[in-house]
Structure 1
Amino acid sequence: MGRVFILGLTLAAIWLLLSGYFDKPLLLGFGVASVATSLYLARRAGVVDEEGAPFGLFPRILGYWAWLGGEIAKANLAVARRALALEPKLSPRLIRVPMTQRTNAGRATFANSITLTPGTVSVDLEPDRILVHALADEFADEAGIAAIGARVAQAEGAGRRAVVAEGAQ
């Protein structure tokens, strides 16, 4: 029941921040109705658990998002340089990168992080690996992609050792 309450507060806060309506009773009523409906459906579907509402991960996830934003910015510049070159040197290839995430949410975060990073796209998930399409050799750096995976594993609570090991390579 505590998770449902925290989820309700979180959804209400997000709705208020994104809508910007603090003084219109009808719209506030719609907001309350949408939060209540979302909570009812989430509870009925059984997704309000540690994986579906991982409130303990928020501090680590915020740090991960900040780091990922920087990586996305760097990759954007690299892709723009290649795209705007007089003779773009593209060498698309597929690589398999090991996955160390323990949860489905961690695996999905890893795959989505790869796809969000310009120059790479997650193509297929296997039980212990992910197939990644890279635009050029520069983006097909297995160690760099594995570093993303290590950061995700750290954010989901797998420990710091994975990140330290990846950074040492």
Structure 2
Amino acid sequence: MSLWVFLFAFWFLLSGHTEPLLLGFGAFSCTIVVYIAHRMDVIDHEGHPSHLSFKIIPYWAWLCWEIVKANIDVAKVIISPKLPISPVMFKTKASQSRELGQVIYANSITLTPGTIAVDLENGVLEIHALTVEGAKGVLTGDMDRRVCKVKGEMEGHDE
């Protein structure tokens, strides 16, 4: 149902049509898309994670600030005549017990310049960092704790 609502809202925003006939066509086309997606089994069985809707907004603000800070750090490394790059590959365990939380954590690491989540398997992330300082930033666990807070999980257990 949430997919249909999202698709219809998106269609309405893009089309801007308010005539009843066109609204009906839009609703019908959204229904067909949802039906086909359901038949192809491409709809996420967890559905829309509505429990994240408002909790994630402060996390996004914090993540945007972390991205800005990481951009500045990476720019300093690149601009420096010595080019102080010290690439590191390391593994860390995600505290989130569910896949959605682990994926949010891995994607947040990848969105932050200078770090990339290379692999996620059984709750263990393999991460590449441009510098040792970037690796230390991930290993502090601040981002991991914040994702747990957004997901309502602490120390790998549901609250």
Q: TM-score range by the shorter chain?
A: 0.7 to 0.9
SS of structure 1 residue aligned to 2:74: helix
Q: C-alpha displacement at 1:85, in angstroms?
A: 1.4
Q: Is the 8 A contact 1:71 1:117 kept in 2?
A: yes
**Aligned equivalents of 2:78 and 2:23: distance in 1?**
46
The equivalent residue for 1:75 is 70
List structure 1 runs of 4+ shifted beyond 3 angstroms. Answer: 14-17, 23-34, 41-44, 46-49
Work out the percentage of aligned pairs sharing the same amino acid.
38
How many pairs are equivalent?
153
Residue deviations 1:14-56, cap 9 Å, x none? 3444x2x31487986775455324422343327354x331112
For 1:156, the aligned partner's letter is: K
For 1:12, the aligned partner's letter is: F
Which aligned pairs between 1:1-169 and structure 2 lie closer than 5 A? 4=1, 6-17=2-13, 19=14, 21-23=15-17, 31-32=26-27, 35-44=30-39, 45=41, 47=43, 49=45, 51-141=46-136, 142-144=138-140, 146-159=141-154
Which structure: greater helix fraction? 1
Q: Is the 8 A contact 2:102 2:123 kept in 1?
A: no
**Cα RMSD for the two superposed structures:** 2.7
Q: Is the 8 A contact 1:124 1:131 kept in 2?
A: yes
What stretches of structure 1 of length at least 5 have no aligned partner? Answer: 163-169
TM-score by length of structure 2 reads 0.80
